[in-house]
Amino acid sequence: VAADVVEPRYYQAILDAVEQHGPYFVLAPGLAMPHGRPEEGVKKTGFALVTLKKPLEFNHEDNDPVDILITMAAVDANTHQEVGIMQIVNLFEDEENFDRLRACRTEQEVLDLIDRTNAAA
């Protein structure tokens, strides 16, 4: 919201989706990628990455607790590539990158890790 990527209602749409469909976006141990649909308040394509000091429980049978959240927003279904989904997928193919990501303290450190991972892919 602060970066003017989504409207506040986007977050409510994510919460509503969890209520309806469960924690489908908890993709791996410790990793969740919550997202909504473009018409639910997306202004422009982007993503936010948060590492949590205190992990969250989403009631996912296999992958709780979660301490890495990547919230994605795309203006339409065809622009997910702009968000860098493939770069993010590459990042999490190596389990050691989970710990590297947790150790990042700045946005630049996260971007550098993503760049290094994709250069090696």
Provide the residue-wise pLDDT of the chain in tens; the chain has 121 residues. 778 999 999 999 999 999 999 999 999 999 999 988 999 999 998 888 899 999 999 999 999 999 999 888 888 877 655 556 677 778 888 889 999 999 988 888 988 998 898 888 7
The pair of structure tokens assigned to 94 is: 């190596």
- 29 and 14 inside one domain: yes
- 7 and 64 inside one domain: yes
Q: Annotated catalytic sites, by residue?
A: 35
Q: Which domain holds residue 113?
A: 84-121
Contacts with 96 (C-beta within 8 Å, 6 or more apart), sequence order:
none
- 32 and 60 inside one domain: yes
- 65 and 92 inside one domain: no
Contact 118, 97 (CB under 8 A): no
pLDDT score of 8: 95
pTM, full prediction:
0.81
- 62 and 93 inside one domain: no
- 19 and 46 inside one domain: yes
- 74 and 90 inside one domain: no
Residues comprising the chain, all counted: 121
pLDDT score of 99: 92
- 42 and 4 inside one domain: yes
Give the dihedral of Cα atoms 47, 52, 57, 58; nearest 10 deg: 0
- Total domain count, the chain: 2
Residue with tokens 């205190």: 54
pLDDT score of 121: 72
pLDDT score of 14: 94
